[in-house]
């Protein structure tokens, strides 16, 4: 064991202790996977990350550093708030990206681009593969969540490294009033996220419009910073008892895949703000922006709450 630099940061918030905490070990280069997993279980926050030098292949492809991501129960190939929080810590420690326009993070899912704009970090959502869940699993998940069939407007399996089940519900109250049976939910899916969309008064018929029209609606908001002053129009909750997370305060990977799905199917404009965490006394904000090329960016603030050393 040795002393290693350690940070705990709060992600998807500009106010300490209102977002999703992340434990970051600055140097994990000589730790085994088992040692990393044990420490992540001990920290007992939703994710713990370990920063390492980029692999030779990653370095050749432009990676600035490598990160490994663990929940209390398992390693993840990718996760959103660990991506932003780890990058925040790496930059604070003096990290210098090869490309001044973006930072490139290597993780199990591949290379993730991160950019800075107006003081906020945003990651490029990884490619999404989505499919329809089986009716049997969907019915079991709905029962575990206490949902009636009419409350579920749409459902998709969303894979951008991890695979989550996404449910689009009929209204915000359905999302906020959920009291899931976590014991019944365990073993059905790795994680399930629920969301509702509140349509802005300036676009009351947005859901009915085609994807092309939805893109046109957002054409005037061409920068991520255009969402800064926007009120949240998407409410999100996420449950993953199988990986040791009862309810996640703010879930970057799910919000990334959710945004790709909702934008593609015309449920939201290409720029919006999502809220997550209020049912567990958090106030997370996720800033979604789709650029002219179609790439979805997921942005959020990060603040350092603890700096020090850990014996590991």
Helix (H) or strand (E) holding 81: helix 80-92
Residues sharing a CB contact under 8 Å with residue 96, sequence separation 6 or more, in sequence order: 64
Instruction: Note if 47 is an active site residue.
Output: yes
CA distance 16 to 303: 6
Q: What is the largest CA-CA distance in the chain?
A: 60
CA distance 63 to 98: 8
Is the separation of the CB atoms in 23 and 11 below 8 Å? Answer: no
Residues sharing a CB contact under 8 Å with residue 70, sequence separation 6 or more, in sequence order: 36, 37, 39, 40, 47, 48, 49, 50, 76
The catalytic residue among 47, 106, 235, 247 is 47
Find the helix packing angle between 80-92 and 252-264, rounded to 10°.
Answer: 120
* Cβ neighbour number for residue 158 with a 10 Å cutoff: 24
**Among candidate residues 267, 275, 255, the one with its CA nearest the CA of residue 123:** 255
- Annotated catalytic residues are 47
């Amino acid at each position: 064991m040795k002393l290693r630099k350690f940070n705990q940061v709060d992600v998807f918030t500009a106010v300490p202790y209102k977002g999703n905490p992340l434990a970051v070990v600055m140097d994990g280069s000589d730790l085994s996977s088992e040692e990393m997993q044990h420490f992540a279980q001990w920290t007992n926050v939703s994710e713990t990350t370990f920063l390492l030098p980029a692999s030779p292949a990653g370095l050749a492809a432009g990676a600035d550093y490598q990160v490994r991501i663990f929940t209390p129960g398992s390693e993840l190939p990718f996760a959103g708030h660990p991506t932003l929080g780890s990058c925040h810590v790496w930059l604070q420690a003096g990290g210098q990206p090869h490309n001044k326009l973006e930072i490139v993070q290597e993780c199990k899912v591949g290379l993730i681009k991160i950019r800075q704009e107006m003081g906020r970090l945003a990651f490029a959502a990884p490619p999404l593969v989505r499919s329809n869940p089986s009716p049997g699993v969907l019915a079991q998940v709905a029962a575990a969540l206490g949902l009636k069939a009419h409350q579920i407007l749409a459902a998709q399996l969303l894979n951008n490294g991890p695979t989550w089940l996404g449910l689009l519900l009929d209204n915000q109250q359905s999302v906020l009033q959920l009291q899931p049976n976590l014991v019944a939910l365990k073993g059905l899916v790795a994680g399930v996220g629920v969301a509702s969309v509140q349509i802005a008064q300036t676009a009351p018929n947005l859901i009915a419009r085609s994807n092309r029209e939805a893109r046109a609606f957002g054409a005037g908001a061409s920068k991520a910073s255009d969402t800064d002053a926007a009120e949240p129009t998407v409410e999100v909750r996420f449950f993953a008892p199988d990986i040791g997370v009862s309810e996640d305060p703010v879930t970057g990977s799910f919000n990334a895949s959710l945004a790709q799905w909702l934008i593609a199917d015309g449920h939201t404009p290409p720029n919006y703000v999502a809220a997550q965490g209020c049912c567990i006394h958090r106030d997370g904000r996720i800033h979604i922006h789709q650029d002219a090329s179609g790439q979805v960016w997921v942005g959020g603030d990060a603040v350092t709450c603890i700096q020090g050393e850990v014996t590991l």
